Amino acid sequence: MIPTAGTPTAHPLDALAQAWVPLRPGLSFRPLHFAEDGYDLQLRVEPGTVIPRHRHSGEVHAYTLSGSREIIETGEIIGPGVFVHEPAGNIDSWRTVGDEPCVIHISLTGDIDYLDEGGQVIGTTNSASARAAYLAWCAAQGVVPHPALA
């Protein structure tokens, strides 16, 4: 069936063709989709890297593609093929375990608030800030942003 005018159309994006955009030492991402209140990405976390304590204002759906991570609060090891749903309000921290990077496909909505030891917000990321990081990296590298992500 040929789509008619006004019919929504899928927009494939080759994730493997996207570069890893560094966020900080040990952490990079491949953007897949940005929306007003959410985004999809692949997160690459190098061995030994810790993702500090944070709270999600929206839901998170995370599927581990390779490597393993440990949820620090519970000691649970999340390896390849494991799906994790985090409801809005979830607070956790985690670290990569083993000697290979942990790559996770993540879909999320809302903000991620990073917390200090007293529970105060010390930083926030969201779809807009992730998109800004991607576009800034593209500009710095002289790379044309993917049309679906610009």
The string of pLDDT tens digits covering residues 56-103 is 999 999 999 999 999 999 999 999 999 999 999 999 999 999 999 999
Task: Report the SS3 class of residue 5.
Answer: coil
Q: What is the pLDDT of residue 46?
A: 98
> What tokens were used for 104?
């996770």
The DSSP line for 13-39 is --GGGSPPEEEETTEEEEEEEEETTEE
Q: What b/e readout covers 106-117, taking b as 16+ CB neighbours within 10 angstroms?
A: bebbbbbbbbee
Query: Which is nearest to 94 in space by CA: 149, 60, 42, 48?
Result: 48
Q: What percent of the chain has pLDDT over 70?
A: 96
Please give the model's pTM, rounded to 2 decimal places. Answer: 0.90
Q: Report the topology of domain 18-140.
A: Jelly Rolls (2.60.120)
Query: Which is nearest to 84 in space by CA: 126, 34, 43?
Result: 43
Model confidence at 7, pLDDT cuts 50, 70, 90, reads confident
